[in-house]
Structure 1
């Protein structure tokens, strides 16, 4: 029996109580879906609900009285072994072994579909993450967003949403000027500008720009006047750097659906269009020759200049236009992932969202990520040899590999600081969380292979009532939770919930395995339905581990 089936049985029990006059509630007060959850203590049963406490006041009865009536109605439901009333009116529900065990077959037959749900169905979501400036390699903070953002996109898609991964390509503004001047200085053997960029990669990109120009039959940019040479390094350098960024992300398992160029907002008239919309809504005013947005009307700490007194657009103008552009492309929800230094951005953009008549926190959602620190041999890792000042995506992947990097970054709440121990993540130890989960998967493969050698075939028999050991009940209970965990991770925009679930599932599976409950018979032993049924359970665990790791963009190796 699945949680949805149990939820339906509870709704039916409530409807019956209303129909026979026991419960004085209008029919529309009965929830279509009753929330059930796993009790914290196993001895309290398989599932629990507080629905009696929720409805008792409306019905004018004591919660425990309502709970006792529901218990009598629910206990006759096929698959329900016992229903106990606890405390002021909680219901603790225990399923019989057959009802619980049937889940193993359901999962295996569902395959890749198990865990998918429709909690976000109908939503068109724009998810913007990473968006590193094309002035250097992606630093460790951006790597965190690559892992978390791509995992969130997968989870939202699995929950029914239509998701577009978007990268905002910052090719407009002073940082690109500094990048071009830095390349020019490196090419001509000059010191980097005071406000420029350093690191070995600058010299590498400068050399590549020169090689590209010569290969195309153009002049050596070093022989051009500085102003002309700088434009060459700007155009070719940004293209070259961004190609490297895209390749690094691709190698990390992250590809984007849309690469949006900041320059296009200014060239297409999108900024003027957005300003006109806000003016028409009465949210703009003139002061000191500049055009301001009255964001304080929507909770911001001060009003914002959108067009400066010299007629140039302020930085926020691009952000305003970009948000409106996303909404006019038909996206219901716009999610933006930003680093810890962008806290001040949240209030003003939520005000912009409200000024356009949208709902802050719904149509616009901003997730802030905290710092990542790397540790090796007990000491902080402080510098990238190539970038010179920051640690990069290639540094992390080179140290621990893609799987460990992605998993370790996605398994923490994004709003927490994390320290990653590179020695641990590169090790084959149970203390290494990605190894622990992947090893559980490889162990399911080994169990199935050994069973096949001994002639155990799933299709020859399945008796869910045989899954009656305590460790099997715990494992089945954990497997039941997976769709709910995926839906919750989607709703809360928290991929780490999937990772932590997988670690708990791996722990339950390792405990079950270590009890030596045979899936493969001994060489002189006959194959029975007990073996076959346990193989269904083993393969159900394998299915969920594959599906869960896939949501995090992490592989499920068959051998470790």
Structure 2
């Protein structure tokens, strides 16, 4: 019996007691989902709920009295070994071994779908992440968003949402001018402008642009006048840089459904349409020759310029148009993953959301991530050999591999500064969290192979009641929490919860492994208990696979 099944049993018991007149509560007052959790003190039982305390007043009863009534009814149900009342009205349950053990069969029958749920079914979510400017390689902050954003997308999909992964391609503005000027300077053997971009990659791209032009039979752009040359380097250089970014992200197991070009907002008239939409809602005004959004009416600390006095659109106007475009494309919720330097951006964007008639925090959600520092030998790593002034995603992957890089980026809450210790991530020890979890999976596979060699096979049948050792029960309880964990992580937009769960599960599994045998000792016969524990071993293997998959990390069968 899973905690979800127990929750449904409790709900049905409440409804039956109401129908039979034992409690005065309406069906509308009974939650659709009854929350069932592991008690903090394991001696209190396998599962616990506070539903009696939540509903006691509505039922016209003392919470403890309501809990006693429910306990008496639920004790009679199959699979319930005990139902007890504690404190002011907690309901604690113990499952019989067969009922608890059946979870192993449930997991293996569900396979890769175990943990999936429909909590977000019917929701269309646009998830924008990374969106690094096409002026240089993806740095560590962008790599963090690549790992976190992709894991979040997988979680949202596992919870039933229809997710569009989107990359905002910033090909409009001064940073592109500086990038083009840097390429031109390098191609002429000069230093980039003071506010330009440095690093070996600038020389590489400048050379690639010249090669492209030569292959097409066009003149060397370095020999053209500045205006013509800059246009060539803008067109070809940005394209080359962006293709490299996409290739590096693909190597990092990150792909996007949409690459949205900022330029298209201005070329298509989307910015003007967005201004008109705000004007129709009466939330803009003119002052000093500029057009302003009355954003203070929606919680912002000051009103914001939309169209400057020279007639040029301010940066915010593109943001308005972009959000409106996402909604017009069908997104119920637009989630933005932004770096720490965008913290002051939240208030104005939420004001935009409200000004357009939407609900901040619902239709628009913004997640701000903190910085990433890389440490080796106790010293911060500051410079990349190729990028010059930053450490890149490519540098990290070269040092530790994709699995360790992705896992390290995800396992800490995004709103916390992340310090990655290369010395730990390159160790094959339990101090390395990704190694610890992957090793647990590899151990499950080794156990299964060893079991086969000793004639232990799931084909012999499954006797879940034999999973009666305390370590069996502890491991089954850990496995049972995975579906709720996935739903919670998706709802809270916190992918790191999956990593922490996997580390806890790995620890529980390693403890179980040291106490319970899947294969017989020398001279012993294969028993039904060995077979039952093979089922449990393989269930752990499946959950570890599913959890690592949500993080975009592989589950090796040998290490």
* Alignment partners' CA distance in 1, 2:414 and 2:486: 17
* Alignment partners' CA distance in 1, 2:21 and 2:216: 86
- Which residue of structure 1 aligns with residue 520 of structure 2? 521
Q: Which runs of 5+ in 2 are unaligned?
A: none
* Alignment partners' CA distance in 1, 2:389 and 2:32: 56
The secondary structure found in structure 2 opposite 1:306 is: strand
| Superposed displacement of residue 523, structure 1 | 4.8
Q: Compare 54-63 and 11-20 and name the one that shifted more.
A: 11-20
Q: Which runs of 5+ in 1 are unaligned?
A: none
* Alignment partners' CA distance in 1, 2:558 and 2:493: 32
- Which residue of structure 2 aligns with residue 506 of structure 1? 506
For the 8 Å contact 1:337–1:368, the answer to whether it is kept is: yes
- Once the two structures are superposed, the pairs formed by residues 465-484 of structure 1 within 5 Å of their partners are 465-484=465-484
The secondary structure found in structure 1 opposite 2:468 is: coil
* Alignment partners' CA distance in 1, 2:257 and 2:27: 46
Please provide the CA RMSD for this pair. 0.9
| Superposed displacement of residue 191, structure 1 | 1.7
* Alignment partners' CA distance in 2, 1:136 and 1:5: 51
- Once the two structures are superposed, the pairs formed by residues 213-228 of structure 1 within 5 Å of their partners are 213-228=213-228
- Which residue of structure 1 aligns with residue 538 of structure 2? 539
TM superposition outliers: structure 1 runs of 4+ over 3 Å: none
After TM superposition, the score normalised by the length of structure 2 is 0.99
* Alignment partners' CA distance in 2, 1:411 and 1:297: 38
What per-residue deviation string (whole Å, max 9, x for no partner) do you get for residues 357-395 of structure 1? 111001000000001111101111111111111110101
- Once the two structures are superposed, the pairs formed by residues 295-314 of structure 1 within 5 Å of their partners are 295-314=295-314
For the 8 Å contact 1:52–1:90, the answer to whether it is kept is: yes
- Which residue of structure 2 aligns with residue 20 of structure 1? 20
* Alignment partners' CA distance in 2, 1:275 and 1:497: 40
- Which residue of structure 1 aligns with residue 426 of structure 2? 426
- Once the two structures are superposed, the pairs formed by residues 105-120 of structure 1 within 5 Å of their partners are 105-120=105-120
The secondary structure found in structure 1 opposite 2:58 is: helix
* Alignment partners' CA distance in 1, 2:389 and 2:427: 27
* Alignment partners' CA distance in 2, 1:397 and 1:174: 31
- Which residue of structure 1 aligns with residue 363 of structure 2? 363
| Superposed displacement of residue 17, structure 1 | 2.2
| Superposed displacement of residue 19, structure 1 | 2.5
| Superposed displacement of residue 59, structure 1 | 2.2
- Once the two structures are superposed, the pairs formed by residues 380-529 of structure 1 within 5 Å of their partners are 380-515=380-515, 517-529=516-528
The secondary structure found in structure 1 opposite 2:83 is: strand
For the 8 Å contact 1:144–1:410, the answer to whether it is kept is: yes
| Superposed displacement of residue 323, structure 1 | 0.3
| Superposed displacement of residue 524, structure 1 | 3.3
- Which residue of structure 1 aligns with residue 191 of structure 2? 191
* Alignment partners' CA distance in 1, 2:31 and 2:387: 57
Does 1:336 find its partner at 2:336? yes
* Alignment partners' CA distance in 1, 2:125 and 2:8: 30
- Which residue of structure 2 aligns with residue 558 of structure 1? 557
* Alignment partners' CA distance in 2, 1:15 and 1:287: 62
| Superposed displacement of residue 296, structure 1 | 0.8
| Superposed displacement of residue 33, structure 1 | 2.1
Does 1:248 find its partner at 2:251? no
